Amino acid sequence: MATKVKLKIAIADHPHTIAIKNGSIPIEGVDAEFVTVKPQIGAFRRMVRDVEFDVCELAPTTYIIARSYGAPFVGLPIFVVRRFHHGGLLVRPDANIKHPKDLEGKKVGVRAYSVTTGVWNRQVLIDEFGLDASKVTWVVDDEEHVTQLKLPANVIHAAPDTSLADMMAKGELVAGNEGAAGIGRTGAPTGGWQEVEADYPDLLPNAAELEKEYYGRTGVYPMHGTIVVKDSVLAEHPWIAKSLYKAFDQAKKEWLAKLDSGELTDKKYQALQEIVGHDPLPYGIAENLKTIETLEATAFKQGLTARRMAVNELFVDPNAN
């Protein structure tokens, strides 16, 4: 390891990763060239389509789909974004949607069928409430990251120059994921999409209560950002997995210490601490096994992956050696 390995790395500017990007926490044995792509979704597409980076933060569903089609990169159990998904599916008040199964036979909007938010939300509706997702027509208005993905027959594209927000306003959709092309609550920001004047309630109004109960019962804690590394990099330098893991873990520990001391505040993750415990961003395969298995199974169940995959095909254990 006398000569450092040069790696091109694309990760977002999270408060718990910024110390890696600014160099205050080095990646042992690595000469890192950090590439900032805003929004990070742009890096998702560049990685799964062109394998542009040596290390990249990807949406986990995008990664699992790509891996099922033979993508030449593998995940590390470093999950830099977490949240639950019982909330966020908004319904028209006049659509008479009282229970998830009421969505069957109806049209529901989601930006893209494979977007991780939508996949996790459908997982809740399917596994917890018995929704038959094949009986819902899912309407999308964006392209999928993985070009090889063949969408199920019950997924259709909105007409050209037609937004999901407009379709929702006209009653052509009975529900839609919050933030999908402007579908939101009155006066509420919608994650960078246009804001619309519409008062759409959550399908599950007691989402916070349900999420706490769900985690306590299942141990499933949905992840979003996942770190992947080129297979060729690990084949030549297998120690890099551990170097990356150690750097991300140290950056998170320092961030947590600042939260504990009051030097920093992070309302999102401090709220999640009340559900999952002191560490709201657990890394490692053992710590996330149930969540990994659940996302792999639900991706296949929703027609997103070409085949079933074992955990050791999806994730390298950086602490194995």
Q: What is the pLDDT of residues 12-21, one digit of tens each?
A: 999 999 999 9
- Residue 168 CA, chain-centre distance (Å), reads 24
Q: What is the pLDDT of residue 188?
A: 45
Q: What is the pLDDT of residue 187?
A: 43
Quote the mean pLDDT of the chain.
93
- Residue 21: phi and psi, rounded to 5, are -65, -35
Q: How many helices (H) and strands (E) does the chain have?
A: 11, 10
Listed range (53-67, 121-135, 185-199) with the worst mean pLDDT? 185-199
pLDDT in tens, 230-259: 999 999 999 999 999 999 999 999 999 999
> How far is residue 201's CA from residue 290's CA, in Å, rounded to a whole number?
31
- Packing angle between helix 267-276 and helix 207-218, nearest 10 degrees? 50
pLDDT tops 80 at residue 123: yes
Mean pLDDT of the region 60-64:
97
Is the four-CA dihedral 31, 37, 38, 41 of positive or negative sign? negative
Residues paired with residue 193 on neighbouring β-strands, in sequence order: 190
pLDDT in tens, 165-224: 999 999 999 999 986 545 655 444 443 334 444 679 999 999 999 999 999 999 999 999
Q: Which pair of tokens denotes residue 89? A: 């599916």
CATH code of the region 5-82+221-314: 3.40.190.10
Return the domain boundaries, the chain: 5-82+221-314, 89-215
pLDDT tops 70 at residue 157: yes
Is the four-CA dihedral 40, 260, 242, 77 of positive or negative sign? negative
**What does the DSSP 8-state code read for residue 54?**
S
- The side-by-side arrangement of strands in the sheet containing 5-10 is 30-34, 5-10, 55-58, 226-230, 73-79
Residue 124's SS3 state is helix
Q: What is the pLDDT of residue 195?
A: 44
Percent of the chain with pLDDT over 70: 93
pLDDT in tens, 27-56: 999 999 999 999 999 999 999 999 999 999
CATH code of the region 89-215: 3.40.190
10 burial via Cβ count (<10 Å: 0-12, 13-18, 19+): buried
Q: Which residues contact 117 (CB under 8 A, 6 or more apart)?
A: 85, 88, 177, 179, 224
Q: What is the pLDDT of residue 178?
A: 83
Q: What is the pLDDT of residue 301?
A: 94
Give 320's pLDDT tier (boundaries 50, 70, 90): confident
pLDDT in tens, 269-318: 999 999 999 999 999 999 999 999 999 999 999 999 989 999 999 999 99
pLDDT tops 60 at residue 85: yes
Give 321's pLDDT tier (boundaries 50, 70, 90): low
CA atoms within 13 A on the CB side of 144: 23
Mean pLDDT of the region 145-169:
94
| Cβ(299)–Cβ(61) below 8 Å | yes
